Amino acid sequence: MLPERKQILVVDDEPNLRRVLSAQLERDGWEVHTAEDGAMGLEMLRDNHIDLVITDLRMPKVDGMELLRQARALDAELPVVMITAHGTVDNAVEALKTGAFDYITKPFDQGEVRAIVRKALKTRDLSATDATPQDHANQEGFRYGIIGHSPAIKELYAILDRVADTPTTVLITGASGTGKELVARALHENSSRRDMPFIKVNCAAIPKDLMESELFGYERGAFTGAVTSKPGRFELASGGTLFLDEIGNIPVEMQVKLLRALQESEFERVGGIKTIKVDVRVVAATNSDLKKEIASGGFREDLYYRLNVVPLRLPPLCERGAEDTLLLAQHFIQKFNARLKKNIVDADAEAKKRLTEYPWQGNIRELENVVERAVLFCDTTQLRVGDLPAEVREGRAAPDPTAATEAASSDGLKEQVKAAMSRLERELIVKALEQTKGNVTHAARLLKISRKGLQLKMKELGLRESAETKEPKKLA
Ligand SMILES: Nc1ncnc2c1ncn2[C@@H]1O[C@H](COP(=O)(O)OP(=O)(O)OP(=O)(O)O)[C@@H](O)[C@H]1O
Ligand SMILES: [Mg+2]
């Protein structure tokens, strides 16, 4: 299984140290949260889904040892790495006895930090998948963390075998939820660049006028507010892989600059005169039809050909056939078994039939969400039709596959999928609250989202914390 973006919490009262450490961790591709003391750290642990804690030992309020103890009480599997000053190894030994994963000494050695973080997160992954002892990694149908048996996926494996460990640019296309990001990460993880950063840029999420400085960085004084200079994503990805997601959304004005950076492997920071050279492997992805964009003037043809050196088209689930759908469903059952502490073996024949007949317009992401919900609902060792959401049970979505492909880009369909998703979310949340007797903190942990996130979602879905969903202690 490939890693999702792991979340690391850095707790230290020294702002400089927090900054340096989180910058390094971010550069390595992790998502970083910071807290300035143990009390704040604990609060963040409760509110976020943290995979690893790195904490200083000596801190005001709650110190590192206390944080370690409380963190392990919250989640016994959570790895905690201690930061100690040189020469205070005694404390570190005590921390190890209390269950700390490892310790690092100040001043940091980047390589050492990187190695410990990787090891700690790997341990975390293994403990999360205890329920699936067999190693899927090299099994046919499970290669690269990408699941499938269909001819289309076998072809994908063959291309990955050939291009993963090359510097070649790859353009991944496919509808929403077909696994584009998964494949991009697989390319990186299976290349000799795997120990270097994987940097993702979501071109649709970055405002037009920030795009250039995001990609190429800027020099101090380049514009109002540029008080220091900053490297861009190209520089951060140096030696590794740059993943340009939703490349179809990159503003036309930026396309020439991007083309040059790709062709020459060089660029200048905004406001800079020095030409910077980097060694970066570029993988791009899009769910829009770039050929159409070219025709309408929204995308440069020369850039398209530069990106499309190796095209990888990910088929929608409906083209992959029943066998793939069932393989994926089975994989997600295992995944959520581990997460939700269930023991489900498989789906019964009728449930399998509904799963294979349903036209998955949200593709694998939608299937994954449906299985997660079903696993949560299921009280026995087999998923049954009753555990599936109404639309899958009744096969309600458009049955005509040609209409589905045509509609796939239409707003109407997006609305439909969105509505189905929020119904699903709602059911999941209600069920989680039921299971935890209305305890929002526990429900959030079950759903693997932050407590604040859950509260927001509840509000959005009109699920106010009513009498029966309130935390028990708040009941009169
Ligand atoms: N072949 C596969 N095997 C296992 N899991 C998969 C596969 N394809 C996709 N997934 C899972 O489905 C979810 C959606 O995949 P991903 O985010 O890569 O899709 P995407 O194409 O980038 O979607 P979007 O266009 O919406 O960004 C992820 O959780 C991913 O791990
Ligand atoms: Mg994506």
Helix (H) or strand (E) segment spanning residue 52? strand 52-56
Q: Is the CB of 182 within 6 Å of ligand 1?
A: yes
Which pLDDT score, from 0 to 100, does residue 89 have?
65
Domains and CATH numbers, the chain: 7-128 (3.40.50.2300), 151-313 (3.40.50.300), 321-472 (1.10.8.60)
Which atom of ligand 1 sits closest to the CA of residue 179?
A: 18
Q: Is the pLDDT of residue 176 over 90?
A: yes
3-state secondary structure of 320: helix
Hey, which of 182, 314, 332 would you mutate to test ligand 1's pocket, going by the most ligand atoms within 8 Å of its Cβ? 182
Residues 6+ apart with CB under 8 A from 220: 226, 227, 228, 229, 271
Mean pLDDT of 270-284: 96
CA gap 24, 22 in Å, rounded: 5
CA gap 212, 230 in Å, rounded: 12
Q: Which of 196-210, 222-236, 269-283 has the highest mean pLDDT?
A: 269-283
Tokens of 277: 């050279």
Which pLDDT score, from 0 to 100, does residue 140 have?
58
Helix (H) or strand (E) segment spanning residue 244? strand 241-245
pLDDT-derived band of residue 404, with 50, 70 and 90 as boundaries? very low
pLDDT digits (tens, 9 = 90+) for 25-44: 998 889 999 999 999 999 99
Which atom of ligand 1 sits closest to the CA of residue 368?
A: 12
3-state secondary structure of 3: coil
**Between 400 and 203, the higher pLDDT residue:** 203
User: How are the residues of the chain apportioned to helix, strand and coil, as percentages rounded to the nearest 5?
Assistant: 50, 15, 35
Residues 6+ apart with CB under 8 A from 22: 10, 32, 34
CA gap 259, 209 in Å, rounded: 18
pLDDT-derived band of residue 452, with 50, 70 and 90 as boundaries? confident
**For the chain, what percent of residues have pLDDT higher than 70?**
88
Which atom of ligand 1 sits closest to the CA of residue 175?
A: 25
CA gap 331, 344 in Å, rounded: 11
Which atom of ligand 1 sits closest to the CA of residue 178?
A: 21
Q: Is the CB of 177 within 6 Å of ligand 1?
A: yes
CB 298 within 8 A of CB 252: yes
Mean pLDDT of 45-64: 89
Q: Is the pLDDT of residue 231 over 60?
A: yes
- Cis omega (within 30 of 0) on the bond before 315? no
Mean pLDDT of 177-182: 95
CA gap 462, 373 in Å, rounded: 19
Which pLDDT score, from 0 to 100, does residue 470 have?
43
Determine which residue's CA is closest to atom 26 belonging to ligand 1: 176
Q: Is the pLDDT of residue 473 over 80?
A: no
pTM, full prediction: 0.62
Q: Is the CB of 287 within 6 Å of ligand 1?
A: yes
Which atom of ligand 1 sits closest to the CA of residue 183?
A: 18
CA dihedral 390, 392, 397, 399 (to 10 degrees): -140
Cα separations in angstroms, 279 against 168, 191, 276, 282: 12, 14, 10, 10
Hey, which of 178, 202, 367, 372 would you mutate to test ligand 1's pocket, going by the most ligand atoms within 8 Å of its Cβ? 178
Determine which residue's CA is closest to atom 28 belonging to ligand 1: 365
Which ligand sits nearest to residue 364's alpha carbon? 1
How many angstroms separate the alpha carbon of residue 365 from the centre of ligand 2?
10
Cα separations in angstroms, 307 against 169, 178, 281, 310: 6, 20, 11, 8
Determine which residue's CA is closest to atom 10 belonging to ligand 1: 179
What sign results for the dihedral spanned by CA atoms 219, 220, 222, 226?
positive
Determine which residue's CA is closest to atom 16 belonging to ligand 1: 179
